[in-house]
RNA sequence: CGGGGUAUAGCGCAGCCUGGUAGCGCAUCUGCUUUGGGAGCAGAGGGUCGUUGGUUCGAAUCCAGCUACCCCGACCA
């Protein structure tokens, strides 16, 4: 492609509404343009990258034996009523009516559609297992789209679904998909980790997420320095060192803490460690039908620890999603507001985190305005009803297995695999006959990759001061030829033209900067670096004086002179792999 | 959905407080010069100031509603 004929939509200024580096660079390099919140146009350069990533995903999926299909993005409500998700999904599901006033939605995922398809086509256990996948646009009406294509409302996803006659088969395919995902992210040259994950609203039990490591990631992932333990922080578990077990027990004392409410402020006032304070959080309960109630529940945590809301809301009787009680309600029921609460003489259901189980001589609120109790110990008047793990794991906790230390890093979720079990096949009555001629409900797995998100994730890991540094297998072009002074030098014009033609003949993805004298060399260099083309040839009268052209590698910046006679040989060697 | 903010030329912004002539940088177009790191000079084009209404002799500016977008928190590839 010749740049003079191409939409190279680079911008010099950093866009004001971009926060993270990949978003800034995707706008600056002219890969995407925003249409509306969470909706993006893919420009020619960006689409080439997206297509390259799709190609790798497709190759590896095909290699795994999965069959590619394409399902509609518009789905009718009936299917969603069958799975009971029409109501469950909430605002994320964009619903609308057709001309006959029938309910439809834009597909945020395709469990219902694929299950409907398979139940119509599959009749025998002999046809299983079967894996289907598609690479297609999804729409999720996100509350807050952000970070460009990283969290867009409309995005490209590779979603796959597998069907099985038994658990063993599901497990096998799950492991095979795990390996396929591993291969895909490996080929994309990403620094990634797989972690045990919460399956969330999609249902099912076993689940793993694949995260690209990046400081801008929205997720926190935890892994052990020894052994294989790795998990999303939402469900990560770890052990804390017990800090004051050897201390002799003292007598408790009520102290005035005035207007100090936060754990840090109280610790400072009393000159004690934050870890010796018990933090009391009050949340709403839930009745047997799952409706939020006004019954309040106290959650007890060590002062230096944070609540893991996901863990807490999974507990029996705790409102899900978790809802903190308002200050007014707490004051009404307990007699003092947030900031002076404690387990002593508190007439609520009290759930203690493991971190407070072994505390001695601790400080907690006295349930009276402006007062705390110091040197408290667990006793009849100050007790908890049950112990649970409701703590957010922290850096340097001890791993439960392997004896390692836990490390917390930020990640971008680019893949998620689930064992769904019979959730959808049961709801939609997707059965096949087993060897005994009996109808059995199929087991399912589902496997997603955020393809458009991968473009952004890759940039997060592959950039420098000057711009994007594409890995070769996803770069929009392999080679950029920059011609300088072509209007002055016949030789420059001829050599760059002939080299360009030769590259096309050889099947090399080549971009030629043939813009005229109005585009200065500086602009050409800066833009070639911004858009991150791996290899660059500069053809100018300066180097031609030595009968050579100049080659630069984008990643390590290493330059070399290549004699014009050796040029084609050089390119063949460089780019034929 | 709660809290905060923004809306003026293709992009980035000033002007608003204190009402009266539509402004800057980049980009674009023309000409000349320049040519190895986002060029210089001269000229030109381009805006119903998000939208609806109100106040006023007069509104980009003051007031109200609406809409869109962005940021911070709970959900997700």
A38 CB inside 7 Å of strand B: yes
Domain A3-236+409-459, what fold?
BirA Bifunctional Protein; domain 2 (3.30.930)
Chain mean position to CA A206: 18
A532 CB inside 7 Å of strand B: no
Six token digits for residue A543: 């180097």
- Is the CA virtual torsion A431, A434, A437, A440 positive or negative? negative
Q: How far is the CA of A35 from the C1' of B51 (A)?
A: 19
> What is the DSSP secondary structure assignment for residue A344, as one 8-state letter?
B
Mean pLDDT value across residues A519-528 = 94
CATH code, A479-575:
3.40.50.800
List phi, psi (to 5°) of A400. Answer: -75, -25
Beta strands in A267-348 (DSSP E): 278-286, 292-302
pLDDT of A568 higher than 80: yes
A529 CB inside 7 Å of strand B: yes
Residue A222's SS3 state is: strand
Orientation angle between helical segments A451-461 and A44-63, nearest 10 degrees: 110
How far apart CA A277 and CA A271 sit, in angstroms, is: 11
A558 CB inside 7 Å of strand B: no
> Can you name the residues that pair with A382 across neighbouring β-strands?
A344, A379
Six token digits for residue A85: 């998700």
pLDDT in tens, A120-143: 999 999 999 999 999 999 999 988
Residue with tokens 């060399």: A521
> Can you name the residues that pair with A363 across neighbouring β-strands?
A277
How far apart CA A253 and CA A373 sit, in angstroms, is: 5
Higher pLDDT: A491 or A249? It is A491
Residues 6+ apart with CB under 8 A from A321: A309, A313
How far apart CA A276 and CA A296 sit, in angstroms, is: 25
pLDDT in tens, A332-365: 888 887 788 889 888 889 999 988 888 888 999 9
CATH code, A253-388:
3.90.960.10
Six token digits for residue A242: 């017990």
Percent of chain A scored above 70 by pLDDT? 98
DSSP-assigned letters across all residues of A449-500? EEHHHHHHHHHHHSEETTEE---TTT-S-SEEEEE-STTT-HHHHHHHHHHH
pLDDT in tens, A391-409: 888 888 888 877 788 889 9
A538 CB inside 7 Å of strand B: yes
Residues 6+ apart with CB under 8 A from A55: none
A118 CB inside 7 Å of strand B: no
pLDDT of A380 higher than 70: yes
Six token digits for residue A173: 């395919």
pLDDT of A50 higher than 80: yes
How far apart CA A483 and CA A495 sit, in angstroms, is: 9
How far apart CA A38 and CA A94 sit, in angstroms, is: 14
pLDDT in tens, A173-224: 999 999 999 999 999 999 999 998 876 655 566 899 999 999 889 899 998 8
Residue nearest to nucleotide B35 (CA to C1'): A520
A453 CB inside 7 Å of strand B: yes
Contact yes or no for A329/A322 (Cβ under 8 A): no
Beta strands in A27-79 (DSSP E): 32-36, 39-42, 67-68, 74-76
pLDDT in tens, A459-485: 999 999 999 999 999 999 999 999 998
Task: Establish whether the linkage from the previous residue to A129 is cis, with ω within 30° of 0.
Answer: yes
Mean pLDDT value across residues A21-31 = 94
Q: What is the pLDDT of residue A54?
A: 98
β-pairing, A67-68 vs A130-139, is parallel
Element at A433 (helix H, strand E) = strand A431-433
How far apart CA A45 and CA A39 sit, in angstroms, is: 17
Q: How far is the CA of A26 from the C1' of B60 (A)?
A: 33
**Residue ranges per structural domain of chain A:** 3-236+409-459, 253-388, 479-575
Contact yes or no for A127/A164 (Cβ under 8 A): no
Burial string for A271-293 (b: 16+ CB within 10 Å, else e) reads ebebbbbbbbbbbbbbeeeeeee
Query: Which nt is closest to the CA of A413, judged by C1'?
Result: B77
How far apart CA A390 and CA A446 sit, in angstroms, is: 29
Q: What are A284-287's contacts with CB under 8 Å, separation 24+? A: A284/A319, A284/A323, A284/A324, A284/A325, A285/A317, A285/A318, A285/A319, A285/A349, A286/A317, A286/A318, A286/A319, A286/A320
pLDDT of A324 higher than 70: yes
Contact yes or no for A286/A292 (Cβ under 8 A): yes
Contact yes or no for A297/A341 (Cβ under 8 A): no
Mean pLDDT value across residues A75-95 = 90
- Considering only residues 477-506 of protein chain A, which place a Cβ less than 7 A from any atom of strand B? 484-485, 487
pLDDT in tens, A234-248: 888 888 766 656 778
How far apart CA A188 and CA A286 sit, in angstroms, is: 45
How far apart CA A298 and CA A300 sit, in angstroms, is: 6
Q: What is the pLDDT of residue A245?
A: 62
pLDDT of A565 higher than 90: yes
| Sheet architecture: strand order including A510-513 | A510-513, A479-483, A535-539, A548-553, A559-563
DSSP-assigned letters across all residues of A115-154? HHHHHHH--BGGG-SEEEEEEEEEE---SS-BTGGGB-SE
Neighbours of A258 (CB within 10 A): 12
Q: What is the pLDDT of residue A203?
A: 57
Q: How far is the CA of A514 from the C1' of B32 (A)?
A: 23
Contact yes or no for A418/A204 (Cβ under 8 A): yes
- Is the CA virtual torsion A389, A395, A398, A402 positive or negative? positive
Nucleotides of chain B touched by protein CB (<7 A): 1-2, 11-13, 25-27, 34-39, 68-77
Rounded to 5°, the CA angle A256-A257-A259 comes to 125
Query: Which nt is closest to the CA of A552, judged by C1'?
Result: B36
Question: What is the average pLDDT score of chain A?
Answer: 90
Cα Rg for chain A, rounded, in angstroms? 30
């Amino acid at each position: 492609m010749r740049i003079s004929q191409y939409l190279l939509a680079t911008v010099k200024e950093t866009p004001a509404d971009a926060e993270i580096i990949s978003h800034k660079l995707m706008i600056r390099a002219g890969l995407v343009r925003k249409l509306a919140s969470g909706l993006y146009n893919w420009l020619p350069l960006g689409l080439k990258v997206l297509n390259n990533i799709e190609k790798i995903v497709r190759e590896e999926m095909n290699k795994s034996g999965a069959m590619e299909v394409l399902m509609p993005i518009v789905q009718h409500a009936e299917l969603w009523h069958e799975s009971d998700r029409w109501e469950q999904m909430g605002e994320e599901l964009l619903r609308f009516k057709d001309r006959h006033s029938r309910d439809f939605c834009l597909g945020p995922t395709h469990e219902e559609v694929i299950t409907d398809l398979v139940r119509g086509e599959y009749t025998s256990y002999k046809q299983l297992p079967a894996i289907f996948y598609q690479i297609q646009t999804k729409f999720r009406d996100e509350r807050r789209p952000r970070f460009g294509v990283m969290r867009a409302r409309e995005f490209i996803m590779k979603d796959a679904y597998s069907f099985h006659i038994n658990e063993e088969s599901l497990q096998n395919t799950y492991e095979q998909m795990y390996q396929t995902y591993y291969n895909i992210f490996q080929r994309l040259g990403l620094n990634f980790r797989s972690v045990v994950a919460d399956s969330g609203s999609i249902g099912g039990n076993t689940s793993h997420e694949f995260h690209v490591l990046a400081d801008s990631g929205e997720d926190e992932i935890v892994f052990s320095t020894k052994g294989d333990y790795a998990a999303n922080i939402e469900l990560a578990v770890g052990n804390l060192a017990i800090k004051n077990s050897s201390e002799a027990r003292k007598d408790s004392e009520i102290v005035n803490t005035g207007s100090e409410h936060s754990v840090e402020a109280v610790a400072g006032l009393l000159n004690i460690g934050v870890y010796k304070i018990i933090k009391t959080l009050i949340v709403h309960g839930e009745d047997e039908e799952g409706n939020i109630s006004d019954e309040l529940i106290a959650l007890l945590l060590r002062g230096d620890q944070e609540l893991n809301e996901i863990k807490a809301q999974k507990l029996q009787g705790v409102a899900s999603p978790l809802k903190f009680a308002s200050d007014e309600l707490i004051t009404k029921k307990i007699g003092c507001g947030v900031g002076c609460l404690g387990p002593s003489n508190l007439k609520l259901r009290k759930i203690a985190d493991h971190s407070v189980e072994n505390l001695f001589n601790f400080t907690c609120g006295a349930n009276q305005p402006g007062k705390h109790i110091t040197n408290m110990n667990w006793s009849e008047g100050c007790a908890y009803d049950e112990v649970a793990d409701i703590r957010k794991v922290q850096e340097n906790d001890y791993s439960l297995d392997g004896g390692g230390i836990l490390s917390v890093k930020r990640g971008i979720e680019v893949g998620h695999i689930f064992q769904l079990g019979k959730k959808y096949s049961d709801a939609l009555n997707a059965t096949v006959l087993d060897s005994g001629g009996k109808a059995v409900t199929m087991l399912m797995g589902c496997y997603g990759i955020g393809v458009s998100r991968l473009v952004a994730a890759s940039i997060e890991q592959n950039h420098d001061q000057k711009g994007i540094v594409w890995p070769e297998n996803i770069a929009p072009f392999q080679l950029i030829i920059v011609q300088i002074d072509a209007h002055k030098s016949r030789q420059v014009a001829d050599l760059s033209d002939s080299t360009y033609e030769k590259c096309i003949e050889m099947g090399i993805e080549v971009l030629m900067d043939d813009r005229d004298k109005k585009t200065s060399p500086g602009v050409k260099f800066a833009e070639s670096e911004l858009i991150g083309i791996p290899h660059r040839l500069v053809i100018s009268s300066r180097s031609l004086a030595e009968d050579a052209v100049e080659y630069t590698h984008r990643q390590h910046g290493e330059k070399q002179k290549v004699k014009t006679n050796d040029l084609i040989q050089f390119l063949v060697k460089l780019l034929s792999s």
